[in-house]
Copies of this chain bind each other. A is one copy, B any other.
Amino acid sequence: MRYSQQREIIRDIVFSTNSHPTADWVYGKAKKSMPNISLGTVYRNLKQLTDQHIIKTIYDGTIARYDWNKESHDHLKCVDCGEMVDIQTSNRERLKTVVNDKHNFDITDVEITFIGKCHKHNKKEKKE
């Protein structure tokens, strides 16, 4: 994989945020420093970076997001604002072992997403 300025910019953008950005968001950012970068280039590089295990691709409903955090970790997702934050689930590895033993499946990974409302949206409304 040969060096390219575009790929460096794209990589840096993904590493600059905890927001699990979409390709389109990365594209918007990238255009600021390189006005005629193309969306195709962004997608191609995000895929290459994923293949090289430099970033991770995660799926949020029906769209792809990108994550610089390659550690095995889980996510918390707000149904109101879509915000997605990292979380460390304690039993993670044990879960995998348990399932591996119980089923005829060779488990390599587990993806856990907690769905709910972030502090901005879980204002507990008092009845009355």
Residues of A within 8 A of B (CB): 59, 61-64, 76, 78-79, 87, 89-91, 95-96, 98-100, 103-119, 121-122
Instruction: Sample 8 A-B pairs with CB under 8 A, ordered by A number.
Output: A76-B107, A87-B103, A89-B99, A91-B91, A91-B95, A105-B119, A106-B116, A107-B116
Assembly stoichiometry (copies): 2
Q: In the assembled complex, how far is the CB of residue A70 from the closest CB belonging to chain B, in whole angstroms?
A: 15
Closest B residue by C-beta to A124: B106
Expressed in whole angstroms, the Cα–Cα distance for A106 and B108 within the complex equals: 29
Residues of B within 8 A of A100 (CB): 116
- Is B108 a contact of A115 with CB atoms below 8 Å? yes
Residues of B within 8 A of A114 (CB): 96, 99, 105, 107, 109-110
Residues of B within 8 A of A89 (CB): 95, 99
Q: In the assembled complex, how far is the CB of residue A93 from the closest CB belonging to chain B, in whole angstroms?
A: 12
Query: Besides the contacts A91-B91, A111-B115, what 18 more A-B pairs have beta carbons closer than 8 Å?
Result: A62-B64, A76-B103, A78-B105, A90-B98, A104-B118, A104-B119, A104-B122, A105-B119, A105-B122, A106-B121, A106-B122, A107-B115, A107-B116, A108-B115, A108-B117, A109-B114, A109-B115, A111-B111
